[in-house]
Chains A and B, each alone.
Chain A
Amino acid sequence: MKYFALIFFCIFSLHATEDPPSFAVFTPPKTWEIVSPETLPGHVVVSFVGKSRKELAPSINLAIEEISCSSAEYLKIVKNLNRSHSGNKWRDLGKFKTEAGEAHLSEIETKIPSGTVRLLQLIFVHDNRAYILTAGALKEEFARHYQEFEGALKSFSITKDLFSCITNNEKKEKLLEAIAHLKENKLSRDAFLNPQFQESTWIPFQNQFLKDSIEQGAYFQLLALQQIASQLLIE
Chain B
Amino acid sequence: MKIFIISLSALLMLLSAPLVAKEELSQLAEQTDQLYRAGCGAEDGVYTALSSSMVAWGVGAVVVIAVLVGSLHSSTAHSGHNH
- A residues near B, CB below 8 A? 33, 35, 39-44, 47-52, 54-65, 67-69, 73-74, 77-78, 80-82, 108, 110, 112, 117, 119, 121, 123, 130, 132-137
Contacts and interface: CB of A to CB of B under 8 A. Distances in A.
B55 A35 contact: yes
* Range of interface residues on B (Cβ < 8 Å): 20 to 34
Contact of B40 (A40, A58, A65, A134): A65
B42 A123 contact: yes
Given A52-B57, A56-B53, A57-B57, A47 B48 contact: yes
B5 interface: no
A48 B47 CA distance: 13
Contacts, number: 122
B53 A61 contact: no
B38 A63 contact: no
B6 interface: no
Nearest to A42: B44
A122 to B, nearest CB: 9
Contacts of B60: 51, 57
A68 B28 CA distance: 12
Given A56-B57, A135-B49, A130 B42 contact: yes
B47 A57 contact: no
B41 A64 contact: yes
Nearest to A81: B39
A119 B46 CA distance: 8
B42 A63 contact: yes
A202 B48 CA distance: 31
A77 B55 contact: no
A39 B44 contact: no
Given A41-B47, A55-B57, A68-B34, A47 B52 contact: yes
B11 interface: no
A110 B48 contact: no
